[in-house]
Chains A and B, each alone.
Chain A
Amino acid sequence: MQKSTGQKAAIPFWRDERILNILGQAAFIIGLVIIGSFIFQNMRAGLAKQGITLSYNFLQGISGFDISETLFTYSRTSSYWQAFQVGLLNTLSVSIVGVIASTIFGVILGVARLSTNFLINRLAAFYLELIRNLSLLVFLIFWYLGVFLKLPRVGDAVIWPGSIYLTNRGVGVPWGLPTDSYPTFRLILIIGLVLAIGVFFALRAYSKRTGQAPLTILWASLTFAVVALLGWFVLPEAPLRFDAPVIEGLNMTGGKVLSPEFMALTSGLVLYTSAFIGEVVRSGILSVSKGQVEASRALGFNGFQTLRLIVFPQALRVIIPPLTSQYLNLIKNSSLAIAVGYPDLFYISNAIQNQSGRTVEMFSLVMITYLIFSLVTSLFMNWYNQRIKLVER
């Protein structure tokens, strides 16, 4: 049987469309690789002519420069690789703060834009249209030179209630310093977290069993807050001592001083990205057909319940994919830090490549790092999207 069909359909391979297709693709790939290797060889040969060879060993060398903001101890005797890590962590912290804050602002904006209250609606619309049509670089420089550096000098700092110092050297906020009882408190916090997660799953199980929809997240966070507060007051000594910033000499000391560069970058990125997220949220909410809202009203749901139980779960399916690309934009846009002097990944890599002369190596490293950031973010968001999307049978 097999043999006979084989004989009948004995097409020579040079006329077999399937083979030809594959051969064509293979030829394309080979061509691509040849061109790529020619370009790479060209670069190597060009660099070799100038006595430069590609190598990443220079990362072990001493950097020789100081960095203004570091999350771990770094000095001029640290290596280039450590300098790179400083930049990496700074980019990560800006990205994480940025993603969280712009999501919160964005959702508020999106909902406000759909509000039936004329004033709220118009204000949100004005804000969205204004911000979305600005250039981010211009916006960042405005925040830096126009806002944070225009704050009063250290000598005549504006002090807001709660010991918040506003100066052009940064914004000083009170910060908790751990005391002796802090390790115990940390243990209590972990217990609180475990309890909160327990409450979360218990309520979810309850909801599945009865069809009720309790405010799962609210109750879980309340549990955590109650445990934390109890721990705070039960301990003989408060676990954190609040340290307010003070002006001393040329600068602020104590508390936590957020540099103008960090403030300008995060506020610029957050306000800019939240405008786009606001539009994403609005489009998501509008994508839920009006019938759904009317039906839920007819069933006796109030406004909040309608939003929480009917509209948002359905809107989320539309929101998540474009939201992912906004997150990616924010992470990638954080490289504009160089314009306001915040030592992020790109900024420090630039300094390294310039002091060491290793342009190709540093740029390849930077590109790979941003690629990894973006891929991890979109992997997570895709996983989440998979989880919440409509289950079709």
Chain B
Amino acid sequence: MKFSKRNSSLVATAVAAALLMTACGGSDEEGSGEGEAAEQAGGTFSMYIGQPENPLVPGNTNETEGGQVLDSLFTGLVQYDAETNEAVFSGVAASIESDDKQTWTVTLNEGWTFHDGTDVTAQSFVDAWNYTAYSPNAQGNSYFFANVAGYGDLQAETDDNDVVIAPPVAEQMSGLRVVDDLTFEVELTSPYAQWPTTVGYTAFFPLPEAFFADPEGFGEQPIGNGPFQADEPFVPDEGITLTKYEEYAGDEPANADSVKYVVYAEQETAYTDLQGGQVDIMDTLPPDAIASAPDEFGDRYIETAQGDITSLGFPTYDQRFADPNVRKAFSMAIDRQAISDAIFNGTRTPATSFISPVVKGHRDDACEVCELNVEEANSLLDEAGFDRSQPVDLWFNAGAGHEGWMEAVGNQIRENLDVEFQLRGDLQQSEFLPLKDAKGMTGPFRDAWVMDYPVAENFLGPLYSSAALPPAGSNYTFYSNPEFDALLVEGNSASNDEDAIAAYQAAEDILLEDFPSAPLFYRLNQGAHSENVENVIIDAFGRIDAAAVRVVG
């Protein structure tokens, strides 16, 4: 999972200009650029996106821009309720059941078709998943199938220099078995009770036979089973217009006749277009507009909680930060609310748990040391014998707008703990990530995560379990505790939600004790829309349900 990296240094330089503009006062005229088209029922609307980073193939899309388009083109086995963030069976699956939480039987609804008229069958899912998992196909989402039995057989053997030594021994995962047209079985490597909730994610969408004949053409003009279809190819840096799929089998077909996704290089430009009525919806707003947008757009301004977390990770491998009490002291020295207000216009919620509030299992009072407590912090630091004369390095990746808040963190550490800091934010992701993988962090670092699916486990396992140690996973603090791992396994194999949550929370308690990283914020997504549309909802993935949007004209 990654953030879009569109916010380049160009944006930073644009700040001055944008400030200048906002100072001129907002425009009152909300022209309706698409007025005529909106007269008929249905109508058409346009939406901002950044440039998708990959071809529009579900198995290769793990960022929000391409994900937004694919979400309109495909419907998965389950869908996520925009309010409760729980999986609901309004998608292709009629049921997903298992006795042992390890072997799952997926039963599909009848009547689902792809945009080319072919049926959505069990084979459509099994073929798609095998294709994505098979390493020679180089699909970015391959790892989502790592818990399916036989996944390893589809992976080429590699040496330490990332060179293939031996090709995969199989092309199909032994854990996927088609029973009949509407039924297939999935055998996991270990029990995972939350598995049905995971399959609403982009990586799990079905693929029609047409895909396998021409994956490249498909990547430009996908054939899905969702509420909208692509009549024309996607044009990089320009966008794509999707039209309503009349044979859509889901409960909620598209309200509008068509949606036009417009790719913008700069959010600022898109925002000006939104003010001028040339684009109808933005699912994110440029940082400079956040202060003025609520007044300017009124009830057409939207704000929703994102399923994510930003933490200050600690290099547990570094002698200086090996003591959990040192890490807790740093956490207690940070006034999260003050940073949110000063740097983010209040659009970050101070974190109170390792688990995001949008998923079940979050506790509002889990993290005591996430609250500012200067006295306690200093006495912890003294007890631990921390050397305050040496500055601490604060690491983050360059060019993504992290400078401001990391500096604020540093200032608070200096003020509250009397420890100097040094910002280490010069490296782009292509250098920063390999350094994180190689235990190269010499001080606390920015550690951020956007959930793949709304499950508490997704905030724990991929970030702190021993199985997720780099280079295989995202456990950049290199934290490892068998007890924690065991509790995750217990939660994964629990027979009901309550037991699972209890186990996950017990695991979180261990995390709170060992404190490999300090939870800082949960993000709030801001969006706004023109008078041309209504029923615009941003979900916890930061996406807008294009089918739900109504054109009012």
Q: Do A and B bind each other?
A: no
Interface residues of B (CB under 8 A from A): none
Interface residues of A (CB under 8 A from B): none
